[in-house]
Structure 1
C-alpha cells in the first residue's frame, strides 16, 4: 500500500536508479562511452607510436605504381598498374573462387547428403566414407594434395591430356576455349535474363495453380509435351554428334545423327519414353568414359577401353530405364522441359534473328605452349576443387541433419498419396528440411569464402596473397592494408548472411 505524502497528498516518487527504463538507458550509455573511449585510446596510441617512428598514415599509397606481377587477373595487369588495381585484382580473384566454390559445393553437398540416407547400401556407404574422410583431413593438406600431388604431377605441355570440347589439362593448368562475342551478342544476354525471369514466373504460377486446383493448367501440360520432344531432340543431336567422334560411320554421315535424335524425340511422346532416355544415357556414358579413359590411360588397349565403356553405358541405360519407368505421367510432373525450352529457345531465336555471333578461340598446341584459348592456372583449379570438395562434406551433414529433422509422419503421408521417392524428397521432405538446413548452410558459405585465403599457401593471387602479402611488404602500410582486407571479408560475410537470412525467412514455417 503506497504511503501518501501528507504535505502534498501524493505518493513519493521512486529513485531514478530503481526505474528499470532509466537503468537500461544508463547502462547502454556507459557501455557505449567505454567502447568509444577504448577505440579512441587505441587510435591515439597508434598515432603516437607511428609519429615516434616517423611514419605517416593515409591511403595515398593506393595511387602509386605497384611494380610487381600478378600471375592471374580478370583484367589487364602490368607492373605499371597502381596498388588500388592490385587490391581490385585480389578482390575479384577471391570473389571468383568464392562464387564458383559455393556453387559446386552446394550441388555436391546436397547430392551426398541425400545419398547418405539412400536405401541403397552401396550408395549410402560410399557417401559416408567420403564425408567422414574429407571432414577429418585438414583443408590446407588437401589443397597441397590437389596442387602438388595431382595437378603438378600432370604431364608436360606437349603430352597434355585432351578432354572433350577442346579442353586440355597439363602441368600449367586447364586450357579452355575463350568465348569471343560480337557487339550484337548483348541482346542475347538480355534475352537470357528475360527468359530466366519468365521461366521462374511460369513455374511459380503453374505450381500455385496445381496447389489450388490439384492439376497443372491444360495448356501448360500440352506445351510441356511439345517441350519434352524438343529438348529430347536437342539432347539427342548433342549425344549422337559426340558419338560420331568415336564411331566414324556416324561421324561421316550427319543423316544418322538426325535419325537417332528424331527417334529419341519421337519416343518421348509415347509410352516408350524410358527407352529413349536409356539410349541417351548409354550414349553419353560411352562417349564420356571412353574419352576420359583414352586421355588418362593412353597405354591401354583401344578395344579394352571400348568394351569397358560399352558395359558401363549398358549399366547406366538399365538404371535410367528403371528409374524413368517409375516416373509419374506427364500431367502430374512439373513442366521442367517447358522451362528449359524457354530459357534456351528465346535466346536462340534472338541469336538467330539479330545475326549475333559467338565464336570460340580454341587453344592450339604450338612448339612450347598453347596459343589461344583461356588458361586457368593450376593454383586456381586446385583451390576451387579443394574448397568445393571440403565444404561439400560439411554441407552434406547439414542436409542429412535437416532431412532427419522432418517428422517421419510426413514421409508416411507422402507415401500414402502415392508419391515416388524422388517426388517425396522434392515436394515434401526437402522443403520442410530447408528451415533446418539454411542456418548452418550460411556458416559453411562464410567458411568457404574465408578459407579462400589459404590460396596464398599454393600461390593463388587472392586478396590476402596480393594485398596483405606483397602490397603490405612493399608499402609498409600495415594498418590501412589490414583494415581494407578485414572490411572486404566483413562485407562478404554480411552480404552472404543477409541473403541467406532473407531466403531463410521465405522457407520458414508460417503459423496460421
Structure 2
C-alpha cells in the first residue's frame, strides 16, 4: 500500500455505531443478566413484604401489637451475669445489649482457647513421639464424634459437683475451683479493664496497618513500631486513668470468696463445651495445613540448620496459613452460633435472654428477627476480618 493510501486510511473516521435501543439492549447477554437479577431481587422483596403484611394483619386481628416500639419498654426481669450494670427497670433494648456483650465475651474466649488447643493438638498429631501422636488422635476422635450439647452438660455437671468453697481445690494458693466457679486474682476495682482492652485492640489494628503499608526494606522498623503501638496504647490508657496496678487476690469470707474475680459455673461449662469441641476441628485443619507444605521445604529448612521450632515458625506455618485460614474462619463463626447452647446451662447469652424477652413482650416475630440479625452481623464481621487476614498472608503473584 502506498504512503498516500496509508494516510487516507488513518484519516478515515471511525465507524458510526447504531443508536442504542431497547431491542439491541435486550440482545446483550450482560444487560439481560442484570435485568433477570433485578427482577428476582424485586420478587423476593415483594414476597417478603407480602408475607410480613399478612402476618401483621393476622396478629392485629387477634389484638396482638406489632412493631419494634417494645424495645423501649421496661424489661421487668434481671440478668444474673452481666458485663455492664442492668436492672429490671431498664429497657428491652439494653437487655439485648447485655445479651450481645455476654455472647461476645464467651465467643471471644472460646475462639482464643480453641485456637490455642487446636494448634497444639494439630501439631501433636504429626509428632514423631508415638504417645503424643496417639493422645492427640484420641482427643480429636472423642471430642469430634460426641454431641456438643452432651459435652456441655457433662462439664456443667462436673463443675457443679465440685467441693463447696470451704473445701475448694486450690491452684497455687491464688486461684480456687469450687462449685461456685473459678475464683482467681484480678485487677483492682479502679482499673480500666475495658478501656485498656479497647486500646489494645486499636493498637494491634494500627500496628497491623503499619505492617501492611511497610515495604520489605523497612519491615524490621515496622515490626518495632507495631509492637510499640500494641503495647503503648493500653499503657497510655492506664497511666492516663491514674489507676493502681494492685492485684486483688480472692479470699474465703463466710460461705464464698471475696475480692479477685469469680467465673461462674455456667460460663466455665459453656466455654469448655465450645472450646474443646471446636478445637478438635481446628486441630484437623492445622494438621491438613501443615501437610500441605511440601516435604522439600522441611528438608531444606533442616539442611540449613533450623531447629524444629524455627522450621514451624519460619517455614511451615507461613505457608500453611493460606490453607488453614478459610476453614478456621468457619469454625470461629460456629463458636458464635453454638454459644446459643448456653441456654441449656443457664448462661444469659443472646438466645436465652431473647426467650425471656419473647415471653414478657409477646413480640415473637420481631424478637426472633432481631436475634437472627445479631447472629448474622457477628458472623459477617468475623468472616470479613478473616478474609482480610487471609489476603494479608497470601503470597502475592507476579
TM-score range, shorter chain: 0.7 to 0.9
Q: CA deviation at 1:174?
A: 1.5
Q: CA deviation at 1:456?
A: 0.3
For 1:204 and 1:419, locate their aligned partners in 2 and report how far apart those are by CA, in whole Å: 27
Corresponding residue pairs, total: 372
- Which of 381, 384, 392 is the equivalent residue of 1:506? 392
Q: Mapping of 1:178-189 within 5 angstroms? A: 178-180=186-188, 182=190
Q: CA deviation at 1:118?
A: 1.1
Give the corresponding residue for 2:263: 376
Unaligned segments of structure 1, at least 5 residues? 1-9, 218-333
Q: Mapping of 1:186-201 within 5 angstroms? A: none
- Which of 245, 250, 274 is the equivalent residue of 1:387? 274
Would you say 1:485 and 2:366 are equivalent positions?
Answer: no
Q: Mapping of 1:189-268 within 5 angstroms? A: 208=216
Would you say 1:61 and 2:61 are equivalent positions?
Answer: no
Calculate the aligned-residue CA RMSD, in Å. Answer: 3.5
Would you say 1:466 and 2:353 are equivalent positions?
Answer: yes
Distance change (3 Å), C-alpha of 1:157 and 1:123: same
Give the corresponding residue for 1:177: 185
Q: Mapping of 1:233-312 within 5 angstroms? A: none
- Which of 116, 137, 141 is the equivalent residue of 2:146? 137
**Greater RCO, 1 or 2 (C-alpha within 8 Å, sep 6+):** 1
Would you say 1:80 and 2:84 are equivalent positions?
Answer: no
Would you say 1:164 and 2:172 are equivalent positions?
Answer: yes
Q: CA deviation at 1:32?
A: 2.1
Q: CA deviation at 1:369?
A: 2.3
Q: CA deviation at 1:47?
A: 1.6
Q: CA deviation at 1:177?
A: 3.2
Q: CA deviation at 1:140?
A: 0.3
Deviates more, 1:42-51 or 1:89-98: 42-51
Q: Residues 178 and 360 of structure 1 are in contact (CA less than 8 Å); yes or no, is this contact kept in structure 2?
A: yes
Give the corresponding residue for 1:257: none
Report the TM-score, using the length of structure 1 for normalisation: 0.65
Distance change (3 Å), C-alpha of 1:165 and 1:204: farther
SS in structure 1 of the partner of residue 188 of structure 2: strand
Distance change (3 Å), C-alpha of 1:411 and 1:455: same
For 2:135 and 2:292, locate their aligned partners in 1 and report how far apart those are by CA, in whole Å: 23
Unaligned segments of structure 2, at least 5 residues? 1-17
Deviates more, 1:353-362 or 1:165-174: 353-362
Q: Residues 442 and 497 of structure 1 are in contact (CA less than 8 Å); yes or no, is this contact kept in structure 2?
A: yes
Distance change (3 Å), C-alpha of 1:479 and 1:388: same
Give the corresponding residue for 1:409: 296
SS in structure 1 of the partner of residue 146 of structure 2: coil
SS in structure 2 of the partner of residue 435 of structure 1: helix
Q: Residues 181 and 359 of structure 1 are in contact (CA less than 8 Å); yes or no, is this contact kept in structure 2?
A: no
SS in structure 1 of the partner of residue 296 of structure 2: helix
Distance change (3 Å), C-alpha of 1:45 and 1:361: same
Would you say 1:420 and 2:302 are equivalent positions?
Answer: no
Deviates more, 1:76-85 or 1:436-445: 76-85
Q: Residues 191 and 245 of structure 2 are in contact (CA less than 8 Å); yes or no, is this contact kept in structure 1?
A: no
Report the TM-score, using the length of structure 2 for normalisation: 0.83
Q: Residues 200 and 231 of structure 2 are in contact (CA less than 8 Å); yes or no, is this contact kept in structure 1?
A: yes
Distance change (3 Å), C-alpha of 1:358 and 1:158: same
Distance change (3 Å), C-alpha of 1:206 and 1:124: farther
For 1:354 and 1:449, locate their aligned partners in 2 and report how far apart those are by CA, in whole Å: 33
Would you say 1:154 and 2:41 are equivalent positions?
Answer: no
For 1:146 and 1:108, locate their aligned partners in 2 and report how far apart those are by CA, in whole Å: 17
Q: Residues 108 and 392 of structure 1 are in contact (CA less than 8 Å); yes or no, is this contact kept in structure 2?
A: yes
Q: CA deviation at 1:392?
A: 0.6
For 2:82 and 2:189, locate their aligned partners in 1 and report how far apart those are by CA, in whole Å: 20
Would you say 1:105 and 2:114 are equivalent positions?
Answer: yes
Distance change (3 Å), C-alpha of 1:485 and 1:165: farther
Q: CA deviation at 1:62?
A: 1.8
Give the corresponding residue for 1:248: none
Q: Residues 134 and 390 of structure 1 are in contact (CA less than 8 Å); yes or no, is this contact kept in structure 2?
A: yes
For 2:44 and 2:196, locate their aligned partners in 1 and report how far apart those are by CA, in whole Å: 54
Q: Residues 453 and 464 of structure 1 are in contact (CA less than 8 Å); yes or no, is this contact kept in structure 2?
A: yes
Give the corresponding residue for 2:51: 42
Deviation readout 1:401-456 (Å, 9 max, x if unpaired): 11111122211222222222111111111111111100100000000110000000
